[in-house]
Structure 1
Amino acid sequence: MSVVVNVHQAKTHFSKLLAQAHAGQEIIVAKAGVPYARLMPLAADTGGRQPGRLSGRLGDEFFESLPDDELDAWDFA
C-alpha cells in the first residue's frame, strides 16, 4: 500500500522516507493534494548488460571498409 505525503512532509522527513522506499514501501508525494511524484525502490540489478557477451558474433565483413558511394552519403561537410 502506498503512503501519501505532502511536499513539506517529504522535505522535512526525506531521509526517513528514503529508508522506507529502500525497504520496499511506495511513497507518493503530493502537492496541494494532487499526486506529483512516486518514491519507490529501484528494481534489483538483473545483470542486464554484460561486456563481451556478444564476443565472436560479428563476421569479418563487419570490419571491412564501406564502399565509396555509401561513405559519400554520410559526408555532411
Structure 2
Amino acid sequence: MTSDAAAQFNIHDAKTNLSRIIDRVEHGEEIVISRAGTPVAKVIPLNRKVHRSGRGSLRGKLLATEDWDSPEVNETIALDFGLAQ
C-alpha cells in the first residue's frame, strides 16, 4: 500500500469481499473492519516463524549412527528427560 493508512471495510463489505481482503493481507496490507464507521478489528499478515523448503529439506544434513536405537542410547535419552531411574 502506498500510504500509511490501512484500507477500511464495513462489516457487510468485509463479508462480501473476504477472499479479496485475505489476498491483500497475504501481500502485506493491513485491513480495518468497521461497524457503523467505528473500527472494531484489524486484519494483519501473520509472520511465519519457520520457512521450510518442503519435505526432505534436511536430507543429507542429518547423520544417524549405527547405534542410534541401542539400549544405551535410549537409556541416556530417558535419563535426559527424567524418565529413567
Sort the TM-score into its range (normalised by shorter chain): 0.5 to 0.7
The answer for unaligned runs of 5 or more in structure 2 is 52-75
Please give the alpha-carbon distance, in whole angstroms, between the structure 2 residues aligned to 1:38 and 1:16. Answer: 15
Q: CA RMSD in A?
A: 2.6
Match of 2:23 in 1: 19
TM-score if structure 1 supplies the norm length? 0.58
Please give the alpha-carbon distance, in whole angstroms, between the structure 2 residues aligned to 1:9 and 1:16. Answer: 11
Instruction: Give runs of ≥4 in structure 1 deviating > 3 Å.
Output: 62-65
TM-score if structure 2 supplies the norm length? 0.53
Please give the alpha-carbon distance, in whole angstroms, between the structure 2 residues aligned to 1:63 and 1:14. Answer: 49
Residue 10 of structure 1 pairs with residue 14 of structure 2: yes
Corresponding residue pairs, total:
57
Match of 1:41 in 2: 45
Please give the alpha-carbon distance, in whole angstroms, between the structure 2 residues aligned to 1:21 and 1:63. Answer: 46
Identical-pair percentage: 30
